[in-house]
Structure 1
Amino acid sequence: MRKWISANNMRWAVGWLALAGLALSWWHPFHHTHASGPPWIYGNPDARFTVVLHADLECPHCRIYLPQLQRWIVTNDHVNLAWHHLPLPQHEPAASREARLVECVGQLEGREGFWGAVVWVYLNTQGNGRGLAGHITYPGSTPSLQRCLAGENVAQIVDEQKAQAQENGLNATPTLRLIDNQTQRTLTLQGPIEPDALLSAVDLLSAPDISEMPADVISDMPR
């Protein structure tokens, strides 16, 4: 393991590495077929359904939930995952600073670089707004990365995604927004969702008539 992975994070890092090994052969067929850029997609770009994860890089619950969600995506090819920045006020300025970092890595290295940077931040952040320890810097830091971070483009991306989430009444992380890319129906689910419940939500969203959807399961009906 690299030196930037602390002993406290070792078990969690092993889980990420196991997930990476599972996804490696599955990822390759899609790697060059779609342009990289926000929203950053994990999984089959042509999947019928998209789970939009509204997340904060300083959020401990997001840190724990993301690898579980990615494992589920790997085994359900009809669903992909899209990242949506939602830095929370109580985690600023670290949350937005880290969001800009992963966006810049994505711009320079593509979606694999983006998701790798997300993992790196979660492995190294102190969480809950404390950010990265002062001596820790991103291992792929280059002049191009520094120029990107100094520019306004990535800051605008993060701010726009945050504003969009707030306009939709989202103010907690993790929050999932499930989209049927065929019908454009959407459902919003609050908090970490277990795989079985998430699969049930996908099935409900694809049903011809979802007017009877239980209110205690789904918090936002399709528009």
Structure 2
Amino acid sequence: MLFRSKGNKRRSIGAAWIGLGLVLPILLLGACGRKRVPAPAPPPPAKQNVVVLLPEPDGKASRIVVSNPAGARDLDQPYQAVTVQRADTPPSQPFTMSQPEVRRLFGPALDVLPAAEVQFLLYFQEGRDTLIPESEALLPQILAAIAERHSTGITVTGHTDTTADPQFNYQLGLRRAQAVARLLTGKGVAASDVFVASHGQADLLVKTPNGVAEQRNRRVEVIVR
């Protein structure tokens, strides 16, 4: 009995292994037939605008305010920047960007920016359209700026002090501007690129009463764009 009982057990075990032998390949085939579900892609990074304050070419201080309906930030240092993600989110706290990072982000845009305009002040002898020697010495710098920018927009504006009547001063300012224009065109600047005007005594650099001789008001402003 005992032996038969053991034999029966052996048979039961053998049947169990046979059963497993039949079932296991089916399970394996089922596993191989399943399609893998790809993991969901990560969400794209939120888009944001970056605003950077660049330094002025002449080193002068500059400042901008970046604002939207949710708030505003002041930028008053070169290479300060903020990010703006949405209209309902205020601009970020200002942070400083390195020059290489600014170049990496904005290089193509910076490369096509026109050169900043440059201004020259030329001073004149009292009551005349003759430059003082120190101002005449600035002409090579003006010509160099025109050449560097390939400028086709050069504004030459004459001014006077208040030592004569307004009508005379308007004409004197015009003669001064025309004198500078002739000096430029005589050095090869195209006359069609030079725009001449006069403000007479109407735009004093130094505010004075009538009848006051002031060297800094006897001037021509040359702006090269």
Q: Which is higher, the Rg of structure 1 or of structure 2?
A: 2
* Fold equivalence (TM over 0.5): no
Structure ranking higher on relative contact order (CA contacts 8 Å, 6+ apart): 1
Question: Whose strand proportion is higher, 1 or 2?
Answer: 2
Q: TM-score range by the shorter chain?
A: under 0.3
TM-score (norm 1): 0.20
TM-score (norm 2): 0.20
